[in-house]
């Protein structure tokens, strides 16, 4: 069974951390409605959606992807690069502890889950403002002997690695070449985002299906033309908080 851990939108979303997008007013009730639509898309794709309550004092807490990395046998609780986000970890960890053995990134290391792209048994980790060398080294040490490889990947011009590249299938990636070196993924078939849609590389994979923001129709058509099943959802208010579709859930398999 596919599980999807989500958290309700904080009423303080407008005070979110921002790095590469301009701050504009966020319609929080509309963001909540869009988040509900997002959950329903996940349910339609066969996910059992778990909903954590909102944490009103934690503006970015809807973006649960950043606080954990869920693998087949363990979950790694991160230490987010933004200090304002570190209190988000405990409640997500309490839920994940029912499904996985928990490991954790410790101070002074920092690592955001949005910087971690799992492809096969390799974890590509963005070397970003949020995920530093110590955090990446800790991740490598935590996974030593478990059959995983951890590779650092420089990013530029974007918040996280998964702002620039996400997986469409086992052998195929969607990539924004302005933000990450395509040569780092030479073993994959690569589909590039439409040049008119620079933020379109963040796509959520659930089995053989894909979920992407409705605001990128040209890139969506590229994926449809390549034979992919794509569901689109309006997450425009969440995008104003520098989020997208991978950010809002932790999707993993369970035997339950």
Structure token digits, residue 91: 């409640």
pLDDT single digits (tens) 32-42: 999 999 999 99
Structure token digits, residue 148: 């995983």
Q: Is residue 130 within 8 Å of 82, Cβ to Cβ?
A: yes
160 catalytic? Reply is yes
Name which of 79, 65, 151 is nearest 109 in CA terms. Answer: 79
Reduce the DSSP state of residue 139 to 3 states and report it. helix
Structure token digits, residue 58: 């934690």
Per-residue confidence at 75, pLDDT binned at 50, 70, 90?
A: very high
pLDDT single digits (tens) 167-206: 999 999 999 999 999 999 999 999 999 999 999 999 999 9
Sign of the C-alpha dihedral, residues 175, 176, 180, 182?
positive
Measure the CA–CA gap between 213 and 194, rounded to whole angstroms: 14
Give the start-end residues of each E strand in the chain: 2-7, 47-52, 68-70, 74-77, 101-104, 116-119, 122-127, 149-154, 165-169, 172-175, 189-192, 204-206, 209-213, 229-233, 250-253
pLDDT single digits (tens) 204-238: 999 999 999 999 999 999 999 999 999 999 999 99
Q: Is residue 188 within 8 Å of 152, Cβ to Cβ?
A: no
Cα-to-chain-centroid distance, residue 171: 19
Name the pTM for this structure: 0.97
pLDDT single digits (tens) 124-171: 999 999 999 999 999 999 999 999 999 999 999 999 999 999 999 999
pLDDT single digits (tens) 93-124: 999 999 999 999 999 999 999 999 999 999 99
Measure the CA–CA gap between 207 and 163, rounded to whole angstroms: 20
How large a percentage of the chain has pLDDT more than 70? 100
Residue of 32, 160, 199, 248 marked catalytic: 160
Q: Is residue 207 within 8 Å of 216, Cβ to Cβ?
A: no
pLDDT (0 to 100) of residue 256: 63
pLDDT (0 to 100) of residue 142: 98
Mean pLDDT of 11-27: 97
Q: Which domains does the chain have, with CATH numbers?
A: 2-253 (3.75.10.10)
Residue of 16, 32, 247, 248 marked catalytic: 247
pLDDT (0 to 100) of residue 255: 83
pLDDT (0 to 100) of residue 214: 98
158 catalytic? Reply is no
Name which of 220, 219, 216 is nearest 236 in CA terms. Answer: 216
């Amino acid at each position: 069974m596919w599980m999807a851990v989500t958290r309700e939108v904080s009423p303080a979303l407008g005070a979110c951390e921002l790095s590469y997008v301009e701050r504009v007013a966020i319609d929080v009730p509309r963001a909540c409605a869009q988040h509900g639509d997002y959950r329903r898309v996940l349910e339609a794709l066969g996910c059992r959606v778990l909903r954590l309550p909102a944490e009103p004092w934690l503006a970015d807490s809807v973006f649960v992807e950043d606080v954990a990395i869920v693998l087949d046998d363990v979950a790694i609780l991160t230490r987010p690069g933004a200090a304002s986000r570190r209190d988000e970890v405990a409640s997500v960890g309490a839920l994940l502890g029912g499904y996985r053995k928990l490991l954790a990134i410790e101070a002074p290391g920092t690592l955001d889950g949005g910087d971690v792209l799992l492809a096969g048994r390799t974890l590509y980790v963005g070397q970003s403002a949020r995920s530093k060398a110590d955090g990446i080294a800790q991740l490598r040490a935590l996974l030593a002997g478990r059959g995983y490889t951890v590779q650092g990947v420089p990013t530029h011009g974007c918040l996280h690695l998964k702002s620039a590249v996400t997986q469409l299938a086992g052998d195929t990636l969607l990539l924004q070449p302005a933000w990450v070196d395509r040569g780092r993924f030479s073993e994959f078939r690569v589909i590039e985002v439409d040049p008119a849609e620079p933020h379109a590389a963040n796509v959520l994979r659930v089995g053989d299906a894909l979920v992407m923001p409705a605001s990128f129709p040209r890139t969506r058509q590229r994926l449809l033309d390549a034979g992919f099943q794509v569901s689109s959802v309006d997450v425009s208010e969440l995008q104003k908080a520098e989020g997208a579709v991978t950010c809002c859930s932790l999707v993993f398999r369970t035997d339950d």
